[in-house]
Chains A and B, each alone.
Chain A
């Protein structure tokens, strides 16, 4: 339902997104039946396609040509997909978007090779573009995203980490790829540098807001809505903003500390989720998400008023209010 609502916001892009969808299907086509099945399984599980949407919308601020835009939009979604397959191995996740993960449907090795295959396909596509700046930005982003994930593993089960560590982590983990989607969309469509910079910053702020909301929803949404058990982040030792806010209460801190361990029981998980849900932490985290949202909107205010600008604004509002 929420995904439907989001898709309605960018319904103007439907014909272009259909092209992107077909290109994605072609991109993961393989002579290996197993790889084909695994890649299509992943593709058909759906997704918001938010990265291609931002590429296309950013392109509307320049000389928009779908044949050029898709050369960036498709690889960015592929890079995101590849990282999801590998993340599911890291998190030992059985379910994503209500569907069995590649690692659950097949095994870890198949998941690793599927991710490698999809990432390589992304690079095959993006290198059709002969613009050094595109490759410098994207390669740097890919490395930073990995660094973010490495830090996330280092910080696992560390309840006493500071807010700055969390923000730096989500910047690398999520915001950078959305920021790059906007920037690359702008650059490939030939916008001026100033416009590209505003779009890059918009993507960064919206990415931060998006991830904070994601982290809040991990506690506030239901298992059905999430397509996985609520509190999965905590269960996996990932300390997110709601936990960082909630730990200020000594009583909650003690409970969190005692339960921050591998093999957390399901009853304990439910108890933690309830405790965070009913604490002021959710409200505090929402406020921080809104601060980033306002910054994102501010960036849009510097750009020419247009349909694309309006759509970006509506997506930003939606992200701030989404339920799951």
Chain B
């Protein structure tokens, strides 16, 4: 698949997912679901690499994307949620959860419903951990981020026998998350993760430095994994430039790789 085909498939999937959860009021007032292309890329990665794929697997991939949208909606709920938009954001998450259950129930895939539900409990536990008053170690925070970003996806991989991509997805999704957190930090926005990091880092350490070092480390790991998987050039290029765009170093290595 060339870059254009990869891009088209991701766009098509995005449109299918949006159609599956379409609800007039939610769309008008909340802007509809947040479907992140990064996650769609990883959900479709087995297809892009020529692994066995079917209509059922694609439908399951869509439901994973819907679960992410459901959880993401609930992340957007603010401390004062009395506006119509906020109230509907709460309901959007619940509505998308119902759709995910219904879609997999229609496929009679109760095992995947159960496994995704287990992943949701883990993600919810980790998200809540950022509100605990106890000081957590850096390793614990990193582990939380990994679960929040990729547990649903790796559940899907494990269920369909695509575990080989789990590590690449985990590293890349953490990379994307920390990049976003760095951008928030630079913009003066203090997310709950940044607040948790602030309390956990050694007094002399700076969050900005910590995030940049983390990004460098993840980038190294990502490039290693990309080369290890022997991904086709177009796919590798798409991942490094469209999904996890970062420093020029990545670009150089891609060309060499």
Contact = CB atoms under 8 A, between A and B. Distances in A.
Grouping DSSP codes into helix (H, G, I), strand (E, B) and loop, the A interface class, with mixed when no group exceeds half, is helix
Contact of A150 (B25, B71, B113): B25
Interface stretch (B76-84, B212-220, B237-245): B76-84
Interface string A72-104: 000000000001001001101000000000000
A139 to B, nearest CB: 4
A281 to B, nearest CB: 27
A114 B131 CA distance: 12
B78 A143 contact: no
Interface secondary structure of B, over-half rule: helix
A34 B131 CA distance: 8
B42 interface: no
B33 interface: no
Contacts of B71: 116
B118 A132 contact: no
Interface stretch (A10-18, A123-131, A188-196, A306-314): A123-131
A150 B99 contact: no
B94 interface: yes
Given A107-B131, A112-B74, A149 B91 contact: yes
A140 interface: yes
Interface string A141-176: 011011101110110100000000000000000000
Contacts of B94: 83, 86, 115, 119, 142, 146, 149
A143 B95 contact: yes
Chain A contact-residue range equals 35 or more
A23 to B, nearest CB: 16
A112 B81 CA distance: 11
Interface stretch (B5-13, B100-108, B175-183): B100-108
B110 A130 contact: yes
B57 interface: no
A108 B105 contact: no
A153 B131 contact: no
29 contacts: A32-B125, A89-B81, A90-B87, A92-B80, A92-B82, A108-B77, A109-B79, A109-B131, A109-B192, A112-B75, A113-B74, A113-B128, A116-B123, A120-B117, A120-B124, A124-B121, A130-B110, A132-B105, A135-B101, A136-B105, A139-B102, A139-B105, A142-B94, A142-B97, A143-B95, A143-B102, A146-B91, A146-B94, A150-B95
Given A34-B128, A112-B90, 10 more contacts: A32-B128, A32-B132, A34-B129, A109-B75, A112-B77, A116-B70, A119-B94, A128-B114, A142-B98, A262-B82
